[in-house]
A and B are shown apart, each in its own frame.
Chain A
Amino acid sequence: MSQPLPSSASTGMTAAGTLATARGLYHRITYRKLLILAALSVALVLSVLWDVSYGPSGLTMGGVIRTIFFRDEASAMDQVIVWDIRLPMALMAVAVGVSLSIAGAEMQTILNNPLASPFTLGISAAAGFGAALAMVTGISVIPFAGIFLVSANAFVFAAGASFLIYAFSIMRGVSTESMVLLGIAMVFLFSSLLALLEYIANEQTLQQVVFWSLGSLTKVTWPKIGIALGVFALTVPFFVTRAWKLTALRLGDESAKSLGVDVQSLRLQVLIAVSLLAATAVAFVGIIGFVGLVGPHVARMLVGEDQRYFLPASALAGGLLLSLAAIVSKSIVPGALIPIGIITSLVGVPFFLSLIMLRRRQLW
């Protein structure tokens, strides 16, 4: 990558020759990134397949494939195991990993802060409080929530927290520092409220609350996956059309403005989209940490910050991370399910530390 390029001035190339050189240079850059994206995709697919074929029931890989493609020929038991338990969990792991990672990537972009993630802005904490409220008191913010009570509450509070930050930012001006500070305030606020709920809960509900706050894929149903994918489909085009503007943000507010980017407005719009993504993810599976932080950093290390590659790479890295974590959570103690949030934190922390240590090759 460090070969000097021939200067057209010195070789006196024609216009066509210059074009060829220009294209060649561009391809050198993009080819490598596309290769990485492809590799990540393949890894993700393999991980999902592995996730679906792993479980305590003795169902083999062959059995799984047969149940997926020839559903009617499989026994009722196999069908339930594959279609109602394993597939939803595997797919939701990917959906949540992707959502959280994209949310984290864009939060880091608009806040110019490598520590930004759905946690940093208090969205996860707010969702945690909402869910606990539903579990402990049965209070539902949305009537008729029914079996979606916990998720609906979680979502409403998460969205509410984002709205608070949004409103505050409009009143006080959108500086990255004020947004991050407000996010920290949110984290503390909702964490203490959550602790209050935990205090007044009786033993049984307390267990539920604690385990939800550790992240769990066990409450996944197909309608929930549908909703998660729907929200994803809604927000992704939003980011895609703003790819260049978001990349420009990373050059600094002044430079971005000089390139014609409406920095304030972009920041707020992205905040809304990101909140939607993160709130949905957290509403369904509880608080899962570090994916929103680690996924984007991995992507950045691999493909840099050109959003056209950074965004898909973040998504794939996040999905892959959570899919692998799901496999680990199933396999540490066979038959038991370690809450997935624990796994991501355990893996995330050493990674995080190594990020800080490796300051030489500055990755931010």
Chain B
Amino acid sequence: MRLHWSPSRLGKLRLLWVVVAGLIVMLAMACGGGGASEGAKPTPEAKTAAASIKVTDIVGRQVEVKAPVKSVILGEGRQMYVVAALEKEDPFKRVVGWPDDFRTTDMDSYKRYKEKFPKMAELPIFGSPNQGQFSVEKAIALKPDVVILNLDGYGPSKETLIPQLERAGIPTVVVDFRQYPFENTVPSALLMGKLFGQEKRAQELVDFYIKQINTVYDTVEKIEKAKKEKPLVFIYRAAGFGDCCGTWGRGNMGLFVERAGGRNLGSEVIPGWSGTVNPEKVLAANPDRLIVTGSNWSQFPNMKDHVTFGYDAVPAVSRAQLKAMVEKTPGWTNLQAYKDGQVYGIWHQFYNSPYSFVAFLQFGKWLYPEDFQQMDPEAIYREFHEKFLPVPYSGTFWVGLKEATP
């Protein structure tokens, strides 16, 4: 037996009205422009036919890109460190969008660059690919020739971000200055040089980098032949972001320590390339050197005290902040390193840029002051700025607890 249903006419009309009203609303929205379009720059049509080249990126992918690229989206704001070195005259010539981390993690640099290149502040902002916050749709609307991802953003992006961009005809290229700096800095810089049509510049940059790195290696070789005792170092990574004791294991600055002839406490404790160490362990190990990293992190809400470094940093202030940081960390005033004055602070962002050789040099000086006496990292960094960067050298990028730091 069938179920009967005979709604009243009034009921039918009411239903119809709901549907019609809904459709009218939708139409209104469509006429009004539908989705919001935020800061989409109208990209000029490619005038000169850029040649299509094949490049191999840091993870071994063969990617076809129209180079030199006319427009690029950076997967991390701090890729600007490299871009600025390649295109000193106008680093933002080709950049059409980037994440906000350049501003939040290195306010000093941001300010300097903004002074010189004000339109930088108007670039469309993207979320981080690591967190799946990178809006692919927004990227597609900007029609870039390439999107440059960092290695740590590559994993999370394999499933959707990269294929979606690919289908829209936008290639992605992966670089790395952070996870394996010794292996990847050179190929990444050269790769970006190729993309930007600045191969010559990139080669110069790489040569400079290699020369400096080799000086350290040469000196360390002599030290090791002399079988000197290796100092134990603890790097307090990003001091101020939470409590003690974040550090690097066999990665990044941890490797700087090791290859500069020291022993990295983190490498002996942490399995991965970065992590946290039990504060007790640091006290028990009583390291010979303490290195604290910092930057201008004032843009982070609720940022606790930290040690500032950058173009606007003042040595006396940074030194005072360093002292305060040590005194704030329980037990550190009892450490031998503190009593000997072997406590240092250094700019955190050295860990993620082709300028990392400067930190490497400076570590050498702190570990073996006599052997590295001839070396002057500050002068080298200054020279680097003059040669490669659009902004002049100023401020402080490292400091020691003792006034007269080697």
Contact = CB atoms under 8 A, between A and B. Distances in A.
Direct contact of A and B (CB under 8 A): yes
Interface of A: 23, 27, 30-31, 34-35, 38-39, 42-43, 46, 49-50, 53-64, 76-77, 79-81, 84-86, 147, 199-200, 202-204, 207-208, 210-212, 216, 218-221, 331, 334-337
B133 A337 contact: yes
Contact of B127 (A59, A147, A334, A337): A337
A147 B158 contact: yes
Contact of B26 (A35, A61, A203): A61
A335 B38 contact: yes
A64 B130 CA distance: 29
B169 interface: yes
B142 to A, nearest CB: 9
A54 B34 contact: yes
A56 B36 contact: yes
Contacts of A46: 22, 25-26
Nearest to B138: A56
A27 B35 contact: no
Interface of B: 4-7, 11, 15, 18-19, 22, 25-27, 29-30, 33-40, 124-128, 130-133, 135-138, 140-141, 143, 152, 155-156, 158-160, 163-164, 167-169, 271-276
B279 to A, nearest CB: 15
B15 A334 contact: no
Contacts, number: 150
B37 A58 contact: yes
Given A208-B130, A208-B132, 18 more contacts: A30-B5, A46-B26, A53-B34, A56-B37, A56-B40, A56-B137, A57-B37, A59-B34, A59-B35, A61-B30, A61-B34, A62-B30, A76-B167, A77-B168, A79-B167, A80-B168, A85-B136, A337-B133
Nearest to B274: A202
B301 to A, nearest CB: 16
B169 A336 contact: no
Chain A binding surface, main DSSP class = helix
B163 to A, nearest CB: 8
Contacts of A63: 34
Nearest to B271: A200
A331 B135 CA distance: 12
A23 B160 CA distance: 54
A39 to B, nearest CB: 6
B30 to A, nearest CB: 3
B275 A42 contact: no
A273 B38 CA distance: 44
B29 A61 contact: yes
Given A61-B30, A77-B169, A42 B133 contact: no
Given A76-B168, A337-B133, A53 B35 contact: yes
26 contacts: A34-B5, A39-B15, A53-B26, A53-B29, A53-B35, A56-B37, A56-B40, A56-B135, A56-B141, A57-B37, A64-B34, A76-B167, A77-B141, A77-B143, A80-B164, A81-B140, A202-B272, A202-B274, A202-B275, A207-B128, A208-B156, A219-B132, A331-B36, A334-B38, A335-B125, A337-B132
A42 B18 CA distance: 8
Contacts of A147: 158-159
Contact of A216 (B130, B132, B272): B132
Nearest to B273: A202
A207 B130 contact: yes
Contact of A39 (B18, B26, B37, B271): B18
A60 B33 contact: yes
B132 A218 contact: yes
Nearest to B126: A335
Nearest to B19: A42
Contacts of A216: 132
B140 A80 contact: yes
Given A53-B35, A54-B34, A207 B131 contact: yes
B5 A57 contact: no
Contacts of A84: 163-164, 167-168
Contacts of A85: 136-137, 164
B134 to A, nearest CB: 8
B127 A336 contact: yes
